[in-house]
Structure 1
Amino acid sequence: MTSPLDKLREYGYELPMPKAPVATYIPVTRTGNIIYVSGQISSDANGVAEGKLGDTMNVVQGGNAAELAAVNFLSQVVHSAGIDLAKVKRVLKLTVFVNSTPDFAEHHLVANGASNRIVGVLGEKGKHS
Protein backbone atom coordinates (compact mmCIF):
# COMPACT_ATOMS: atom_id res chain seq x y z
CA MET A 1 0.00 0.00 0.00
CA THR A 2 1.31 3.45 -0.94
CA SER A 3 1.77 5.84 1.99
CA PRO A 4 0.24 9.33 1.89
CA LEU A 5 3.73 10.87 1.69
CA ASP A 6 4.57 8.62 -1.26
CA LYS A 7 1.32 9.70 -2.94
CA LEU A 8 2.28 13.33 -2.36
CA ARG A 9 5.64 12.63 -4.02
CA GLU A 10 3.83 11.05 -6.97
CA TYR A 11 2.19 14.45 -7.48
CA GLY A 12 5.64 16.04 -7.50
CA TYR A 13 5.72 17.42 -3.96
CA GLU A 14 7.93 16.94 -0.95
CA LEU A 15 6.30 17.91 2.33
CA PRO A 16 7.71 21.36 3.12
CA MET A 17 8.55 22.65 6.57
CA PRO A 18 5.75 25.02 7.60
CA LYS A 19 6.42 28.72 7.61
CA ALA A 20 6.32 30.52 10.95
CA PRO A 21 3.08 32.37 11.73
CA VAL A 22 3.08 36.02 10.66
CA ALA A 23 0.84 37.18 13.52
CA THR A 24 -0.27 36.13 17.02
CA TYR A 25 -2.16 32.99 15.96
CA ILE A 26 -0.82 29.46 16.28
CA PRO A 27 -0.83 27.23 13.19
CA VAL A 28 -2.58 24.22 14.75
CA THR A 29 -4.90 23.87 17.73
CA ARG A 30 -5.78 20.47 19.14
CA THR A 31 -8.74 19.60 21.33
CA GLY A 32 -9.17 15.92 22.11
CA ASN A 33 -8.61 14.01 18.90
CA ILE A 34 -9.60 16.90 16.60
CA ILE A 35 -7.12 19.37 15.19
CA TYR A 36 -7.88 22.72 13.62
CA VAL A 37 -5.38 24.03 11.10
CA SER A 38 -5.13 27.77 10.50
CA GLY A 39 -5.52 29.18 7.01
CA GLN A 40 -2.69 28.30 4.66
CA ILE A 41 -1.47 30.49 1.85
CA SER A 42 -0.50 29.34 -1.62
CA SER A 43 3.26 29.36 -1.36
CA ASP A 44 6.26 27.18 -1.98
CA ALA A 45 10.03 27.62 -2.24
CA ASN A 46 9.47 29.98 -5.20
CA GLY A 47 7.33 32.37 -3.14
CA VAL A 48 3.65 33.22 -2.87
CA ALA A 49 1.27 32.60 -5.76
CA GLU A 50 -0.01 36.04 -6.71
CA GLY A 51 -2.86 37.11 -8.92
CA LYS A 52 -6.58 37.69 -9.15
CA LEU A 53 -8.92 35.17 -10.74
CA GLY A 54 -10.75 36.72 -13.66
CA ASP A 55 -7.96 39.27 -14.14
CA THR A 56 -4.31 38.17 -13.93
CA MET A 57 -4.90 34.49 -13.14
CA ASN A 58 -6.92 31.81 -14.92
CA VAL A 59 -8.79 28.87 -13.41
CA VAL A 60 -5.92 26.41 -13.93
CA GLN A 61 -3.46 28.76 -12.23
CA GLY A 62 -5.93 29.31 -9.40
CA GLY A 63 -6.39 25.56 -8.95
CA ASN A 64 -2.63 25.13 -8.82
CA ALA A 65 -2.42 27.86 -6.17
CA ALA A 66 -5.15 26.14 -4.12
CA GLU A 67 -3.18 22.89 -4.45
CA LEU A 68 -0.13 24.60 -2.93
CA ALA A 69 -2.22 25.71 0.04
CA ALA A 70 -3.43 22.12 0.46
CA VAL A 71 0.17 20.86 0.54
CA ASN A 72 0.90 23.47 3.22
CA PHE A 73 -2.16 22.24 5.15
CA LEU A 74 -0.77 18.68 5.06
CA SER A 75 2.59 20.02 6.21
CA GLN A 76 0.97 21.63 9.26
CA VAL A 77 -0.74 18.36 10.14
CA VAL A 78 2.58 16.50 10.09
CA HIS A 79 5.05 19.07 11.38
CA SER A 80 2.99 21.26 13.74
CA ALA A 81 0.50 18.70 15.02
CA GLY A 82 2.93 15.77 14.88
CA ILE A 83 0.45 13.47 13.16
CA ASP A 84 1.46 10.85 10.61
CA LEU A 85 -0.78 11.37 7.56
CA ALA A 86 -1.47 7.63 7.52
CA LYS A 87 -3.14 8.03 10.93
CA VAL A 88 -5.50 10.85 9.90
CA LYS A 89 -9.02 9.52 10.40
CA ARG A 90 -10.91 12.21 8.46
CA VAL A 91 -10.68 15.73 7.10
CA LEU A 92 -13.89 17.31 8.34
CA LYS A 93 -13.98 20.68 6.62
CA LEU A 94 -11.99 22.72 4.15
CA THR A 95 -12.51 26.41 3.47
CA VAL A 96 -10.91 27.94 0.38
CA PHE A 97 -10.72 31.70 -0.07
CA VAL A 98 -10.42 32.89 -3.66
CA ASN A 99 -9.14 36.33 -4.68
CA SER A 100 -11.24 37.19 -7.72
CA THR A 101 -12.95 39.88 -9.70
CA PRO A 102 -16.65 40.44 -8.92
CA ASP A 103 -17.74 38.71 -12.14
CA PHE A 104 -15.62 35.57 -11.63
CA ALA A 105 -17.95 32.58 -11.18
CA GLU A 106 -15.76 29.47 -11.12
CA HIS A 107 -14.68 29.46 -7.49
CA HIS A 108 -15.62 25.80 -7.16
CA LEU A 109 -13.16 24.82 -9.90
CA VAL A 110 -10.37 26.71 -8.15
CA ALA A 111 -11.22 25.14 -4.77
CA ASN A 112 -11.10 21.71 -6.40
CA GLY A 113 -7.33 22.17 -6.69
CA ALA A 114 -7.11 21.89 -2.90
CA SER A 115 -9.81 19.25 -2.54
CA ASN A 116 -8.40 17.02 -5.24
CA ARG A 117 -4.90 17.11 -3.77
CA ILE A 118 -6.09 16.27 -0.26
CA VAL A 119 -8.26 13.41 -1.51
CA GLY A 120 -5.46 12.26 -3.82
CA VAL A 121 -3.09 11.99 -0.86
CA LEU A 122 -5.46 10.78 1.88
CA GLY A 123 -8.03 8.88 -0.18
CA GLU A 124 -11.58 8.62 1.18
CA LYS A 125 -10.40 10.08 4.50
CA GLY A 126 -9.68 13.33 2.68
CA LYS A 127 -13.27 13.88 1.51
CA HIS A 128 -14.57 16.87 3.42
CA SER A 129 -17.49 19.24 3.67
Structure 2
Amino acid sequence: MPTGRLAPAQHLLTEALDTLDHAAGPAAGDTEMLSVLTVCEGATRRLDLIAVHTVAALQRRGVFADRGYKNPIGAVADLLGCEWADARRRSSARCRSASGRRSLRMPYQSQIASSTSSRICGANA
Protein backbone atom coordinates (compact mmCIF):
# COMPACT_ATOMS: atom_id res chain seq x y z
CA MET A 1 0.00 0.00 0.00
CA PRO A 2 1.49 3.34 -1.01
CA THR A 3 2.26 5.94 1.63
CA GLY A 4 2.88 9.67 1.61
CA ARG A 5 1.72 11.67 -1.39
CA LEU A 6 0.92 8.54 -3.38
CA ALA A 7 -1.68 7.16 -0.94
CA PRO A 8 -4.41 9.75 -1.68
CA ALA A 9 -3.76 9.44 -5.41
CA GLN A 10 -4.24 5.67 -5.27
CA HIS A 11 -7.41 6.06 -3.22
CA LEU A 12 -8.90 8.59 -5.63
CA LEU A 13 -7.90 6.56 -8.67
CA THR A 14 -9.51 3.44 -7.20
CA GLU A 15 -12.72 5.38 -6.50
CA ALA A 16 -12.75 6.83 -10.02
CA LEU A 17 -12.23 3.40 -11.60
CA ASP A 18 -15.00 1.90 -9.48
CA THR A 19 -17.34 4.71 -10.54
CA LEU A 20 -16.40 4.23 -14.18
CA ASP A 21 -16.97 0.48 -13.90
CA HIS A 22 -20.40 1.13 -12.38
CA ALA A 23 -21.24 3.57 -15.20
CA ALA A 24 -20.55 0.78 -17.70
CA GLY A 25 -22.88 -1.59 -15.89
CA PRO A 26 -25.98 -3.35 -17.20
CA ALA A 27 -28.17 -0.24 -16.83
CA ALA A 28 -25.97 1.85 -19.13
CA GLY A 29 -27.36 2.82 -22.52
CA ASP A 30 -25.45 2.67 -25.79
CA THR A 31 -24.41 6.33 -25.70
CA GLU A 32 -23.25 6.00 -22.11
CA MET A 33 -21.24 2.88 -22.95
CA LEU A 34 -19.57 4.69 -25.88
CA SER A 35 -18.71 7.54 -23.53
CA VAL A 36 -17.21 5.10 -21.03
CA LEU A 37 -15.02 3.74 -23.81
CA THR A 38 -13.69 7.19 -24.70
CA VAL A 39 -13.13 8.08 -21.05
CA CYS A 40 -11.16 4.84 -20.62
CA GLU A 41 -9.01 5.70 -23.63
CA GLY A 42 -8.29 9.19 -22.28
CA ALA A 43 -7.40 7.82 -18.86
CA THR A 44 -5.16 5.17 -20.42
CA ARG A 45 -3.27 7.80 -22.39
CA ARG A 46 -2.76 9.94 -19.32
CA LEU A 47 -1.57 7.01 -17.24
CA ASP A 48 0.78 5.91 -20.02
CA LEU A 49 2.24 9.41 -20.27
CA ILE A 50 2.75 9.60 -16.50
CA ALA A 51 4.47 6.20 -16.57
CA VAL A 52 6.73 7.20 -19.46
CA HIS A 53 7.77 10.40 -17.70
CA THR A 54 8.37 8.51 -14.46
CA VAL A 55 10.59 5.96 -16.19
CA ALA A 56 12.50 8.78 -17.89
CA ALA A 57 13.02 10.56 -14.56
CA LEU A 58 14.22 7.36 -12.89
CA GLN A 59 16.61 6.77 -15.79
CA ARG A 60 17.98 10.33 -15.57
CA ARG A 61 18.51 9.93 -11.81
CA GLY A 62 20.41 6.69 -12.35
CA VAL A 63 18.03 4.67 -10.19
CA PHE A 64 17.99 1.70 -12.57
CA ALA A 65 21.78 1.70 -12.98
CA ASP A 66 22.20 1.86 -9.20
CA ARG A 67 20.15 -1.32 -8.99
CA GLY A 68 22.31 -3.10 -11.56
CA TYR A 69 20.22 -2.68 -14.70
CA LYS A 70 21.98 -1.92 -17.96
CA ASN A 71 18.89 -0.29 -19.44
CA PRO A 72 15.46 0.85 -18.25
CA ILE A 73 13.62 -1.79 -20.28
CA GLY A 74 14.95 -4.63 -18.15
CA ALA A 75 14.20 -2.71 -14.97
CA VAL A 76 10.62 -1.96 -16.03
CA ALA A 77 10.05 -5.56 -17.14
CA ASP A 78 11.23 -6.84 -13.75
CA LEU A 79 9.46 -4.20 -11.67
CA LEU A 80 6.09 -4.52 -13.43
CA GLY A 81 6.35 -8.18 -14.32
CA CYS A 82 5.58 -7.44 -17.96
CA GLU A 83 6.89 -8.65 -21.30
CA TRP A 84 9.99 -7.06 -22.80
CA ALA A 85 7.97 -5.44 -25.63
CA ASP A 86 5.57 -3.82 -23.17
CA ALA A 87 8.47 -2.62 -21.02
CA ARG A 88 10.10 -1.11 -24.13
CA ARG A 89 6.87 0.78 -24.91
CA ARG A 90 6.69 2.08 -21.36
CA SER A 91 10.35 3.13 -21.52
CA SER A 92 10.09 5.10 -24.77
CA ALA A 93 10.09 8.62 -23.35
CA ARG A 94 12.04 10.01 -26.32
CA CYS A 95 9.43 8.93 -28.83
CA ARG A 96 6.36 10.02 -26.95
CA SER A 97 7.56 13.23 -25.36
CA ALA A 98 10.53 14.43 -27.36
CA SER A 99 9.47 18.06 -27.10
CA GLY A 100 9.45 17.99 -23.31
CA ARG A 101 6.79 17.20 -20.78
CA ARG A 102 3.36 17.33 -22.33
CA SER A 103 0.29 18.53 -20.55
CA LEU A 104 -1.51 15.88 -18.55
CA ARG A 105 -4.90 17.56 -18.90
CA MET A 106 -7.71 15.42 -20.26
CA PRO A 107 -7.95 15.65 -24.02
CA TYR A 108 -11.18 16.62 -25.71
CA GLN A 109 -13.59 13.78 -26.49
CA SER A 110 -12.79 13.92 -30.21
CA GLN A 111 -9.08 13.61 -29.44
CA ILE A 112 -9.72 10.70 -27.09
CA ALA A 113 -11.63 8.81 -29.75
CA SER A 114 -8.89 9.24 -32.37
CA SER A 115 -6.45 6.47 -33.17
CA THR A 116 -3.51 5.98 -30.84
CA SER A 117 -1.25 4.38 -33.40
CA SER A 118 0.56 7.60 -34.25
CA ARG A 119 1.27 8.30 -30.59
CA ILE A 120 2.89 5.01 -29.68
CA CYS A 121 6.48 4.32 -30.69
CA GLY A 122 6.90 1.63 -33.22
CA ALA A 123 3.24 1.46 -34.21
CA ASN A 124 3.28 1.60 -37.99
CA ALA A 125 6.17 4.01 -37.86
Q: Normalising by structure 2, what TM-score?
A: 0.31
More helix by share: 2
Q: Normalising by structure 1, what TM-score?
A: 0.30
Whose radius of gyration is greater, 1 or 2? 2
